[in-house]
Amino acid sequence: MAGGLTYTAVDSTSLSTAEIYGQALVQLGEQHPEVVALTADLAKSTKIGEFQKKFPDRFFNVGIAEQNMFGVAAGMARAGLVPFLSTFSQFASFRSGDQLHTDLCYQNVNAKVIATHSGTSFGQAGSTHHAICDLALVRSIPNLTVICPADGVETFNAVMAAYNTPGPFYIRINRGFDRVLYKDTEYGFELGKAVTVHEGTDITVIATGSCVFQAYQAAEFLDKNDGLKVRVLDMHTIKPIDKEAILKAVMDTRRIITVEDHNIIGGLGSAVAEVMCEAGKGCAFKRLGHPDQFAPIGLHEDIMSIVGIDCNGIINAVRDTMKMDFEEDDNWDDEV
């Protein structure tokens, strides 16, 4: 990977995902004088304090004013800097959506949004601070690359890839610690290319963000207990989505489940469905995610369990989907 520094599973058990982002940013700051950091009174929460200490003249806290932060970042980018701006996902998308759309994406500037506290990872804060609709919004903005890393190690890779790729990025990371999926950064991360984290031929689970680890665990369990071979794809890049991996999964396994810590409308599940439908390929298909309802308050892992996007939820969904008889069913009475 660019930069030389790599992260291992050991680091990502001792560092939260945002802390790894903070360190990646310091590394970029040391190498590239044009890298600047912006925050809206969330330097501590978004873990960019180290950058602030090392580069006080390249750090800007604009106060609790997200719309302004996006505009300032756009102006900086137009003038040759590479701003990394971080705030909670809900505010990075909806609060400053117009500035994200127009100042960053329409102008196609080289600015990188690090949207923290994504999904329900700030579970106890309630729906004002959950971000379960952001992907639906940001996925529809032209020029924007959207990444949802599976863990801290992948976040490092995503941040480096964003620096090395011109244009606006939206990287959606969790609050706190992510379960460790990758043992180090050298697993072949490539923008727009899903990572096969578990091989399988019976069914494919396409997951993103914190759900990838859950899907991996479910696949291991189902292999041992049910003899099912579950393919798990880490779909870290939500846009541009890896059409090839999706269609290969349709062809190879004919059963697909998507899992995301997001509303089932507009996020990963919708993106996968769009690819399959436009290809004209039939497939047993289920979207796991928030069922178009605001999530309850609670710990992230509890919410994931309640909503059914954790390991158990995925196991149940795989078993149900395996029972679906879709190929030779000429009876439409039960469907229509």
Partner 1 sequence: MPLSKAEWLALEKKADQLRRLTLDTTHWAGSGHIGGGMSALDVMTVLYHKYMKIDVKNPQWEDRDRFILSKGHVAIAYAPLLCDYGFNDPEMLKTFNLTNSKMGMHLDSNKIVGVDASTGSLGHGMSIAVGTALAARVRGKDYKTYVLLGDGECDEGSNWEAAMTAAHYKVTNMISFVDRNRCMIDGKTEDVMKLEPFADKWRAFGFIVKEIDGNNIKEICEAIDFALENKTDSPVMIICNTKKGCGIDFMEDDYTWHYGSLDDDTYEKAKVCLQKTYEKRIARVEKEAE
Instruction: From 101, 102, 109, 106, select the one nearest 84 (Cα to Cα).
Output: 109
Q: Does 76 bind partner 1 (CB under 8 A)?
A: yes
Which of the ranges 67-75, 133-141, 253-261, 267-275 carries the binding residues for partner 1, by CB under 8 A? 67-75
For partner 1, the closer CB: 102 or 312: 102
Q: Minimum distance between the CB of residue 42 and partner 1, rounded to whole angstroms?
A: 15
List 4, 56, 57, 334, residue binding partner 1 (CB under 8 A): 57
CB 170 within 8 A of CB 113: yes
Residue number, 113 or 264, with CB nearest to partner 1: 113
Q: Interacting stretch for partner 1, rule CB under 8 A, among 58-66, 179-187, 285-293, 295-303? A: 58-66
Which of these, 239, 235, 94, 248, lies nearest to 169 by C-alpha position? 239
Could you say which of 11, 43, 48, 58 contacts partner 1 (CB under 8 A)?
58
Closer CB to partner 1, 96 or 270, in the complex:
96
The string of DSSP letters for 86-129 reads EEEHHIIIIITHHHIIIIIIITT---EEEEES-BTTTGGG-TTT
Q: What is the largest CA-CA distance in the chain?
A: 68
CB of residue 225 to partner 1, shortest distance in Å? 54
For position 196 contacting partner 1 by CB under 8 A, the verdict is no
Least distance (Å) from partner 1 to the CB of residue 97?
A: 11
C-beta of residue 256 within 8 angstroms of C-beta of residue 250: yes
Among 220, 154, 189, which residue's Cα sits nearest to residue 11?
154
Letters for 136-175 (x = contact with partner 1 by CB under 8 A, - = none) are ----------------------------------------
Give 61 or 127: the residue with its C-beta nearer to partner 1: 61
Q: From CA 155, how far away is CA 22, in angstroms rounded?
A: 10
Nearest distance, CB of residue 35 and partner 1, angstroms: 10
36 touching partner 1, by CB under 8 A: yes
Contacts of 260 (CB under 8 A, 6+ apart): 119, 135, 148, 207, 208, 209, 211, 267, 268, 269, 288, 289, 309
> Applying CB under 8 A, does 80 fall inside the site for partner 1?
yes
Measure the CA–CA gap between 199 and 189, rounded to whole angstroms.
Answer: 17
d(CA 105, CA 111): 9
Among 1, 3, 34, 187, binds partner 1 (CB under 8 A): 34
Q: CA–CA separation, 38 vs 46, rounded Å? A: 10
Nearer to partner 1, 59 or 177 (CB): 59
If binding means CB under 8 A, how many residues of this protein chain bind partner 1?
31
Task: Give, as one character, the DSSP assignment of residue 280.
Answer: T
| Closer by beta carbon to partner 1, 82 or else 272 | 82
- Three-state DSSP class for residue 330: coil
Taking residues 106 to 125 in sequence order and writing x for each that binds partner 1 by CB under 8 A, - otherwise, the string is xxx-----------------
Residues paired with 87 in a beta bridge:
115
Judged by beta carbon, residue 104 or residue 150, the one nearer partner 1 is 104
Residues that bind partner 1 (CB under 8 A): 34, 36, 57-58, 60, 62-63, 65, 67-81, 83, 98-99, 102-103, 106-108
